[in-house]
Structure 1
Amino acid sequence: MNKQTYTLDQAKRKLEHFCAYRERCHKEVVAKLREMRMIPLAVDAVVVHLIEHDFLNEERFARSFARGKFRQKKWGKQRIVRELEARDITTPNIRAALKEIDENDYLDTFHEIAEKRWLQISDGLPSGKKSTGTLSRGRKKLADYLLYRGWESHLVYEKVNELTR
């Protein structure tokens, strides 16, 4: 186990590098400082230093997080909101983050992944006459997949009905 102790200046430098590598939220930074065994007073001092020197910015983190998770992982807004809330991001910052997602791109991505997933699921269903039980299992799999990824339920159920007619 790492028993190294850090001075306040060493901790500031280490966390500057930690935050410069990629955007971080306050919760991650505080966890890192606790992992480094810093006392609460030092944790506060380092966090204030990082904010003052623009290494740590919660709104910037939230915007970057939302853009990245939508573009890379194709998450829906609800999943993004859940994940940001788990990181203790404030509601105004979450609202700002969601504005990073273009509505047309959002809907295009939703339709694209729903149709792609439906093709994968329906290929796995027994061929020939598809019984209603088999079809309903496929519908449930598609709905569960899309809901887990954070897409809004009204979009999910409309798309499931459209694809499984």
Structure 2
Amino acid sequence: MVNYCVYQDRCHAEVEQKMKEFLLIDEAKEEILLYLMKENYLNEERFTRSYIRGKFYIKHWGKAKIKMHLRQKQISEKMISSCFDEIDEDDYRKTIVRIYEDYSSKQKGLKEYQKKSKTIKYLISRGFEYEKINDIFD
């Protein structure tokens, strides 16, 4: 389990899921989890922060999509909210503008309002908030 946690940051749910494969008794699972947390192999805040950074700066996901995926990994709302300072607001704004321009320029043969509508839908599917998108283009 140490190797599993060292390879990349993991959340508690991922570690528990991995331990199910080993068919351990409950006491052993608890001991392993306690050891991993005590030795700082398993750190929920570190995982959340690195997950947010990676999904935004590498995959260019919006906050809504990142938040949804973190909830699926059973990360608390409080933890998610406190870690979103990893995304610089200026970078967030620039990313929305860049994705908007890239996607919009690829739309051929459409009227301007159709391009805008299609591009906004695309940005929303990437997890960006409608209010943020609207603020930028109003």
> Residue 46 of structure 1 corresponds to which residue in structure 2?
32
User: Are residues 1:86 and 2:63 paired?
Assistant: no
Segments of 4+ moved more than 3 angstroms? none
Match of 1:33 among 16, 19, 37: 19
Please name the residue that 2:125 is paired with. 148
CA contact (8 A) 1:63 1:96 kept: no
Name the SS for the 2:40 alignment partner. coil
- Name the aligned partner's letter for residue 92 of structure 2: Y
Post-superposition CA distance 1:51-72 (Å, at most 9, x none): 0110000000000000011000
- Is the CA contact 1:59–1:96 (under 8 Å) kept in the aligned structure 2? no
Match of 2:58 in 1: 72
Q: C-alpha displacement at 1:90, in angstroms?
A: 1.2
The aligned counterpart of 1:117 is: 103
Post-superposition CA distance 1:102-142 (Å, at most 9, x none): 11111111111111111112x3x25xxx4x8xx53x33421
Count how many residue pairs are aligned between Structure 1 and Structure 2: 138
Aligned to 2:86: 100
Matched-pair identity in %: 35
1:139 maps to which of 106, 111, 116: 116
**What displacement does 1:97 show?**
1.9
CA distance in 1, matches of 2:132, 2:80: 21
Q: Using the alignment, how far apart are the partners of 2:6 and 2:52 within structure 1? A: 18
Query: Pairwise CA RMSD of aligned residues?
Result: 1.7
* Cα distance in 2 for residues equivalent to 1:158 and 1:54: 41
What TM-score does the superposition give when structure 2 sets the normalisation length? 0.90
The answer to whether structure 1 residue 62 and structure 2 residue 48 are counterparts is yes
CA distance in 1, matches of 2:100, 2:132: 10
CA offset at residue 91 of structure 1? 1.8
